[in-house]
Amino acid sequence: MVGTEALRAHLVEARLAGEIATLREKSLGRYRLFAARDPRVLLGLDPDGDWPMGEVLRLMGQKCGVSVDPAHTSGPDVIDPDRTIAALDGFADRVGEAAGRRTPVLLGTGHPHRLLEFYAALADALSSAGCPVLTPAYGCRVDMATRFGVRTRSLAYVRGVALMREAGARGAPAAGGVHTHSPLPVRTALAAAADAGGPLPGLVIGDHGWVCGAGQLGIEAVGLADTDDPALFVGQAEGWVSVVVPLDDSVRAGHYRPLVRYVLHRAGLL
């Protein structure tokens, strides 16, 4: 078990929180794009309210602990580790409730090289608790916009966790996994589940478009988000997303192990 103080120290040492690698200028750029409703940063969310740049910055200060001073424009961004722990508690509570009710769950990630192991541990524990871990649309092709133009990807599942692979990728299932912010994968999975007559997930766990895309469709969603992903926090503020954990989502995969142990212990699954 990882206690709160040990977890807090780990968050700061691994730069999951505290001073992180995400740059302030990158985060501010994403906030401006979000205010302009650029679909590349909406991640499938269609906000109800107006979110000008200043409001987005204030929200990110409240949820993550970033500086709300618009004159602070460069350097490493910052996440308050206590906010991360509080959000992990809420995340764990939702996982525990899903396990207690044996809720069907869908897990997916746009960060297969960093966060796959985190979500896979959750999938294993939820499956052992009797939750159906859903894998709809396995192998489906999805045309996705990238900075290199439209590319065809395939939807795969590794240990119960959905990810997008390069079309035609060979080798182990996780090989060829690609980073994506798109909501198209979760929309594809949910459409396939509905077409097959269900079951539909009662909870979606993930990041990026997996969370925003599911939440926008009225399915409860919880997930992880960095300071340059304001859509998830706006989704939480508007009630589309249940819980968002602020952390750096691009550190080494092994650094997330203490977090998942903390979550599983609090959820009663460890």
Q: How far apart are CA 151 and CA 92, in angstroms?
A: 35
All structural domains of the chain: 4-266 (3.40.50.10490)
Residue 54's pLDDT is 97
The pLDDT mean for the chain works out to 95
pLDDT of residue 35: 98
- pLDDT grade for 259, boundaries at 50, 70 and 90: very high
CA angle 38, 39, 44 (to 5 degrees): 140
Query: What confidence category does residue 62 fall into, taking pLDDT thresholds of 50, 70 and 90?
Result: very high
**% of the chain residues with pLDDT over 90:** 90
Residue 81 tokens read as 């580790």
Alpha-helical regions (H) of the chain? 4-13, 24-35, 39-42, 53-64, 81-101, 116-128, 184-195, 208-216, 230-238, 257-266
pLDDT in tens, 129-171: 999 999 999 999 998 877 777 888 999 999 999 999 987 666 5
Of 205, 173, 245, whose CA–CA distance to 109 is shortest? Answer: 205
Provide mean pLDDT across the span 244-257: 97
| Region 218-236 average pLDDT | 98
Measured between alpha carbons, how far is 138 from 121 in angstroms, rounded to an integer?
Answer: 20
Q: What is the pLDDT of residues 16-54, one digit of tens each?
A: 999 999 999 999 999 999 999 999 999 999 999 999 999
Instruction: Work out the burial of residue 168: count CB atoms within 10 Å of its CB; fewer than 13 is exposed, 13-18 middle, 19 or more buried.
Output: exposed
The DSSP code sequence of 219-260 is --EEEEE-TT-HHHHHHHHHTS-SEEEE--TTS-GGGGHHHH
